[in-house]
C-alpha cells in the first residue's frame, strides 16, 4: 500500500462540501499542497476537474482522492464515515490519466494553450454551420466536415460530452482517443474515429470569418479560432485514487450497460 501520510484538503464552495470539510479538519491534521503526498478533494466532478487543472497549471501534481459531495461523482468515491478516510486512501487503487494539450490560434493570430482532462470541443458560434478540415498526424483525413462541431475525447472523458454526441466509450487503459462529430451534415456517413493516443490531431476552420468557431478545453473557452492542434501531454499525467471495486475502469464498463 502506498504511504500517503501527509494529506492536503480541498473543498468546493457548496454547502455540503463545506460542512464535510469542517468535520474532516476536526478529525485529521492536514498540510499544505506544497507539503502533501496526496490531496483529498471534497465536492463533485466539476470541482475535481477544477482542482486537477489547478495542479496542471502549477506543475505541482499530486495523487487525488475524491469524496463525492456533488451530483454525479463519476471521478469521485462515495462519501462514507469521516474516520475511515485514512484506511480508504491507504487501500485505494491508483489510475493514471493523461490530459490533452490544446494549442489554438485565433483569427487575429493570438496563441492559446491549455490542458483538457475530458475533451476538447470545437463549436459553431453562429447560426451558420461550421466547416472544419480534419487532419491526423499531418495527413488530411476529411477536407471539409460540415457540422455543429467536433470533439476529441480522452478515455476519462468518453462518458461525458463524447457519449452525449454518440461517441464511443473508451476503457481507461485503452490508449485510445475518440474523435466525434457533433451533428454532422457532411460527410453524412462519417460517425467519428477511434485513434491511438499517440496521434496528433489538427482541426482547421474553413471560411473562418463567416463561420466563426470557438474551442472549449474542459471548462476553458477560446473564441474565433482559426486552427487547433491536439496531442496527449504525457509529461503531465494525473493520478486518481479509487476505492477497491469503485474504480473508474468499473464505472466506464458499467456505463455501457445503462438502459
Within 8 A by CB and 6+ apart from 29, the residues are none
Which grid coordinates are listed for 42? 471534497
User: Per the annotation, does 15 bind a ligand?
Assistant: no
The stretches in the chain having pLDDT less than 70 are: 1-2, 246-249, 251, 258-259
22 Cβ neighbours under 8 A, 6+ residues apart: none
Alpha-carbon gap, residue 211 to 232, rounded angstroms: 28
Residue 156 known to bind ligand: yes
> What is the DSSP pairing of strand 38-43 with strand 7-11?
parallel
pLDDT single digits (tens) 149-206:
999 999 989 988 999 999 999 988 889 999 999 999 999 889 999 999 999 999 999 9
Res 136: pLDDT: 98
* 3-state SS assignment for residue 126: coil
Q: Is 57 annotated as a binding residue?
A: no
106 marked as part of a ligand binding site? no
Strands (E) in the chain, as ranges, are 7-11, 38-43, 64-68, 93-97, 100-106, 111-116, 119-124, 130-136, 139-147, 149-153, 176-182, 193-196, 201-206, 213-217, 220-222, 225-232, 238-242
Are 215 and 225 a contacting pair, CB within 8 Å? yes
Does residue 197 have an active-site annotation? no
pTM of the shown model: 0.86
200 labelled binding-site residue: no
Domains of the chain: 7-98+237-255 (3.40.50.10330), 100-234 (2.60.200.30)
Cis? peptide before 187, omega within 30° of 0: yes
Q: Confirm or deny that 119 is annotated as ligand binding.
A: yes
Cβ-count burial 102-121 (b if 16+ within 10 Å, e if not):
bebbbeeeeebebbbbbbbb
What was the pLDDT predicted at 66?
95
The answer to whether 68 is annotated as binding is no
3, 29, 45, 224: the catalytic one is 45
Tens digit of each residue's pLDDT (9 = 90 or more) over 185-197: 999 889 999 999 9
Distance CA 132, CA 216 (A): 15
What count of other Cβ atoms lies within 10 Å of the Cβ of residue 23? 12
Contacts of 259 (CB under 8 A, 6+ apart): none
- Tell me the torsion sign for CA atoms 73, 78, 83, 84: negative
pLDDT recorded at residue 71 = 80
User: Residue 172 has what pLDDT?
Assistant: 81
Burial class (CB in 10 A: 0-12, 13-18, 19+), 148: middle
Amino acid at each position: 500500500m502506498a504511504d500517503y501520510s501527509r494529506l492536503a484538503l480541498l473543498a468546493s464552495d457548496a454547502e455540503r462540501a463545506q460542512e464535510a470539510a469542517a468535520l474532516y479538519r476536526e478529525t485529521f491534521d492536514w498540510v499544505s499542497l506544497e507539503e502533501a503526498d496526496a490531496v483529498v478533494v471534497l465536492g463533485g466532478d466539476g470541482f475535481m476537474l477544477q482542482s486537477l487543472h489547478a495542479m496542471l497549471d502549477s506543475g505541482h501534481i499530486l495523487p487525488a482522492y475524491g469524496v463525492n459531495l456533488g451530483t454525479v461523482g463519476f471521478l469521485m468515491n462515495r462519501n462514507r464515515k469521516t474516520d475511515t478516510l485514512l484506511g480508504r486512501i491507504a487501500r485505494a487503487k491508483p489510475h493514471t490519466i493523461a490530459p490533452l494539450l490544446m494549442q489554438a490560434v485565433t483569427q487575429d493570430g493570438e496563441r492559446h494553450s491549455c490542458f483538457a482532462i475530458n475533451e476538447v470541443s470545437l463549436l459553431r458560434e453562429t447560426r451558420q454551420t461550421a466547416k472544419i478540415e480534419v487532419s491526423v498526424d499531418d495527413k488530411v483525413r476529411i477536407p471539409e466536415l460540415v457540422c455543429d462541431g467536433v470533439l476529441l475525447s480522452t478515455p476519462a472523458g468518453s462518458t461525458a460530452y463524447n457519449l452525449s454526441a454518440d461517441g464511443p466509450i473508451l476503457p481507461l487503459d485503452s490508449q485510445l482517443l475518440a474523435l466525434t462529430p457533433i451533428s454532422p451534415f457532411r460527410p453524412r456517413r462519417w460517425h467519428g474515429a477511434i485513434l491511438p493516443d499517440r496521434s496528433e490531431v489538427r482541426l482547421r476552420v474553413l471560411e473562418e470569418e463567416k463561420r466563426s468557431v470557438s474551442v472549449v478545453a474542459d471548462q476553458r473557452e477560446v473564441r474565433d479560432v482559426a486552427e487547433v492542434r491536439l496531442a496527449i501531454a504525457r509529461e503531465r499525467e494525473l493520478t486518481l485514487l479509487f476505492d477497491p471495486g469503485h474504480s473508474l475502469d468499473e464505472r466506464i464498463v458499467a456505463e455501457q450497460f445503462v438502459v
